[in-house]
């Protein structure tokens, strides 16, 4: 069966879809007929993503939410499942970075990064699992980072939070397998978004990975449902030196 027929009317929740990688993922999936629920804090920017999707003939509903607040993450999951009456795809993309040496980093920095980058994906996965178990093609994709595997200078807190997300994803994948839920991590190097401008102003924007390239990998993961599974994908800048 062609991919567009298989995926039409599936339902996806994508976090951090007001800009950057999340927006590119939302636009890409909506193009395939997937009904989108998108979230971020900035309601106006989120609405712009909805408008863009609708212009392309897609369907999207915006639910603004601050994922740093656990209660909001939990009610987002409930609202998302209620929105179109189920859920097939959860993309935990929202994230925040920090470029600061350990000595200058505060407890508040640690708590904020862990709340958004690690705790919110945990809460959303946990709250969405009952709905995903009812789906024919349930998939969770967590957007990690190269710093989920390596450690980068001045990025200890960001690195720690993405390592936490990676550890969580590995075990969730094993637990979710019994229900046919596929769980993947995508770990990019520098992608051309506002986050990298803030974290790595030294990188040449022309050499960064494009958000649309990550969106294409998400689509590949959704449509590749053979007997082999890609647990995690590392996406390196082609011009990267050193290797990442
Ligand atoms: N860009 C890179 O080089 C790169 C590399 C590796 C991994 N990543 C990861 O990719 C993901 C997306 O990053 P990006 O590069 O697209 O960054 P971005 O352009 O800064 O976008 C981040 C998104 O997350 C949302 N977000 C941030 N804090 C939030 C909060 N408290 N509650 C709800 N939503 C929140 C933002 O929306 P609001 O501000 O409106 O809330 C925005 O939509 C992140 O997990 C990041 O760690 C990025």
Per-residue pLDDT of the chain (244 residues; tens, 9 = 90+): 555 567 888 999 999 999 999 999 999 999 999 999 999 999 999 999 999 999 999 999 999 999 999 999 999 999 999 999 999 999 999 999 999 999 999 999 999 999 999 999 999 999 999 999 999 999 999 999 999 999 999 999 999 999 999 999 999 999 999 999 999 999 999 999 999 999 999 999 999 999 999 999 999 999 998 999 999 999 999 997 655 5
Q: According to CATH, what is the number of the domain 3-235?
A: 3.40.50.720
CB 109 within 8 A of CB 152: no
Q: Which one from 152, 153, 158, 244 is the annotated catalytic residue?
A: 158
Residues with CB under 6 A from ligand 1: 16-22, 40-42, 45, 65-68, 93-97, 116, 143, 145, 188, 190-191, 193-196
Domain-wise residue ranges, the chain: 3-235
Examine the residue annotation and report whether 152 is marked as an active-site residue of this protein: no
Angle among Cα 217, 177, 5 to the nearest 5 degrees reads 50
Q: Cα of 136 to ligand 1 centre, how many Å?
A: 29
Choose among 96, 145, 89: nearest CA to 117: 96
């Amino acid at each position: 069966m062609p991919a567009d027929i298989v995926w039409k009317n599936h339902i996806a929740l994508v976090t951090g879809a007001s800009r950057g990688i999340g927006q590119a993922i939302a636009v890409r999936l909506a193009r395939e007929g997937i009904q989108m629920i998108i979230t971020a804090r900035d309601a106006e920017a989120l609405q712009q993503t909805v408008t863009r999707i609708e212009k392309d003939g897609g369907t999207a509903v915006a639910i603004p939410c601050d994922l740093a607040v656990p209660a909001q993450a939990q009610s987002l999951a409930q609202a998302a499942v209620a929105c179109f009456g189920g859920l097939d795809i959860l993309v935990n993309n929202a994230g925040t970075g920090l470029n600061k040496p350990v000595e200058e980093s505060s407890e508040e920095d640690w708590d904020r990064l862990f709340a958004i980058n690690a705790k919110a994906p945990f809460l959303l996965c946990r709250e969405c699992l009952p709905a995903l178990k009812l789906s024919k093609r349930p998939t969770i994709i967590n957007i990690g980072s190269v710093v989920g595997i390596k450690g980068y200078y001045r990025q200890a807190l960001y690195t720690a939070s993405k390592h936490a997300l990676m550890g969580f994803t590995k075990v969730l994948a094993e637990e979710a397998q019994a229900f046919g839920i596929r769980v993947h991590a995508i770990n990019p190097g520098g992608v051309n978004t506002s986050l990298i401008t803030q974290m790595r102003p030294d990188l040449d924007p022309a050499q960064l990975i494009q958000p649309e390239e990550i969106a294409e990998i998400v689509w590949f993961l959704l449509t590749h449902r053979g007997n082999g599974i890609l647990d995690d994908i590392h996406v390196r800048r082609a011009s990267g030196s050193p290797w990442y």
